[in-house]
Amino acid sequence: LAQTVERVRWGVLGPGTVATRAVIPAIQASATGRVVAVASRDPARAAAVAAALAIPRAHTGYAALLADPEVEAVYLALPNHLHRPWTLAAAHAGKHVLCEKPLALNAAEASEMAAACRAAGRLLMEAAMYRFHPRLLRLKELVAGGALGAIRLIHAAFTFPLTARDNYRLRPEMGGGALLDVGLYSVGATRWLAGREPVAVQAVAEAWAPHGIDRQLAGLLDFGEGCFATVQCSFGAAEHQVIEIIGTVGVARAPRAFTAWREEPAPLYWRGADGEERTETFEADPYALMVTHFDGCVRGQANPLHDAQDAIATLAILDALARAGQTADAQKP
């Protein structure tokens, strides 16, 4: 007899783009969770989203959702500067938290959040959905299994032209800037694939004067033992995403590395020591895989593949890159 496990009862804070388009549908399509409530600052928006997405309860204000005894786990999809206060409030209310990226504005904030959730005995995970995509899991397996030899160089980039005029991404006080928004993907993936932490970083950054945020950054990570990574992010360049790895005997490349979704074919091009050029193609909804994994962790059936400590480590590198991008100690050619 198959054992039935009760579905995790989710509440959603902030019915914005990623919540309504990707994560709420993923939870609702899963066999492991269901969305029982949604909260907005605006009662009309809460009601409209609940009606449109068949969510049983609409709350006005995020505190009301945290006081809802039926909610076990919170998906937190608020602008970046609200990740810390509402994660702390959720932990206090005894809820598990799947928090959007970046987990916080810096490593210190994220450590405080992790400590609060740990003290409450609740799970905290950053919604790093790309790490659940089978294509990147295959890439990780190739690297870890030595198919490319020892890893010498990694390149990761995520750029797009930000045309919105009024958006938290443009506001420093809301955790705006290209590094936190999309640089996080390249840095998080690079550390994960390298399988260790960089010993030093360097960066050049361009400030976006009218907004007071970084528009673009190029960074170098030194992982020691002759393994270097370049990371690039921009709000002022054409849409582009890639991960490339060069090892001592092979190479691999994943285009549109981070946001491949649902039926979008996600190719992995690679060549190992035998010199044969290979293409493997994957299709998946990484949001669905992420929420199912989170539900398994809540029910004690799995351990988090990527815990809060991992997100803190990525933020520590972002902090160092931001500092490096502000210093003028580069050598003149």
Ligand X SMILES: NC(=O)c1ccc[n+]([C@@H]2O[C@H](COP(=O)([O-])OP(=O)(O)OC[C@H]3O[C@@H](n4cnc5c(N)ncnc54)[C@H](OP(=O)(O)O)[C@@H]3O)[C@@H](O)[C@H]2O)c1
With CB under 6 A as the contact rule, the residue among 7, 45, 57, 92 that binds ligand X is 45
Contacts (CB under 6 A) with ligand X, residues 164-183: 168, 181
239 binds ligand X (CB under 6 A): no
CA distance 82 to 88: 10
- Distance (Å) of CA 104 to CA 112, 140, 286, 324: 10, 26, 22, 19
Interface region with ligand X, contact rule CB under 6 A, candidates 9-17, 25-33, 231-239, 316-324? 9-17
Rg, the chain, Cα only? 20
314 binds ligand X (CB under 6 A): no
CA distance 301 to 127: 19
Question: Between residues 18 and 246, which has the closer beta carbon with respect to ligand X?
Answer: 18
Query: If you count DSSP H runs as helices and E runs as strands, how many of each does the chain have, helices first?
Result: 11, 14
With CB under 6 A as the contact rule, the residue among 50, 73, 127, 189 that binds ligand X is 127
CA distance 9 to 267: 35
Interface region with ligand X, contact rule CB under 6 A, candidates 79-87, 137-145, 152-160, 314-322? 79-87
Q: What is the phi/psi pair of residue 57, to 5°?
A: -125, 140
- On whether the CB atoms of residues 100 and 78 are closer than 8 A, the answer is yes
Min. distance of Cβ 251 from ligand X in angstroms?
27
Bridge partners of 39? 13, 59
The size of the interface with ligand X (CB under 6 A), counted in residues, is: 21
Q: Verify whether residue 101 is a known catalytic residue.
A: yes
188 binds ligand X (CB under 6 A): no
Question: Between residues 99 and 117, which has the closer beta carbon with respect to ligand X?
Answer: 99
Using CB under 6 A as the criterion, which residues of the chain lie in contact with ligand X when the complex forms?
14-19, 40-42, 45, 77-80, 82, 100-101, 127, 129, 168, 181
